Structure 1
Amino acid sequence: MNVKILEKETGRIVATYPININGLHYQPTESDYISEAWKCAIEDRAVDPDKKTSYSFTLID
């Protein structure tokens, strides 16, 4: 699953991350994918970690 992160104010695509979450008898939620993508974006310094509400997230299958 790919997660696209967009800046709400401008609509600019900040980043797109391929996220793989696997587990035996576990179905990841949308929130799980977004959380992992957010962590990646923080590590890459692509986002302001204190302003998560300033971004929107789109899951792309």
Structure 2
Amino acid sequence: MIRLRKQHPIMVYADYELLLPVHEYIYAYTRTLEGEKWLILEPAGSGSLTNADKPLQV
């Protein structure tokens, strides 16, 4: 993630929108800058994504 921040201004200067504020296993958000939009999905907490009991709905 650090390398992405250094190489892509969208990861630093873009508008941020949190998509799943209460999901136990996934931290999901978008970054939007000058018409370009990235969807970022990261593991949240220490749970296993392979055994997640909540579906991902974005």
Give me the TM-score of the superposition, normalised by structure 1: 0.34
Higher strand share: 2
Give me the TM-score of the superposition, normalised by structure 2: 0.34
Larger relative contact order (Cα-Cα within 8 Å, sequence gap ≥ 6):
1
Higher helix share: 1
Tell which structure's C-alpha radius of gyration is larger. Answer: 2
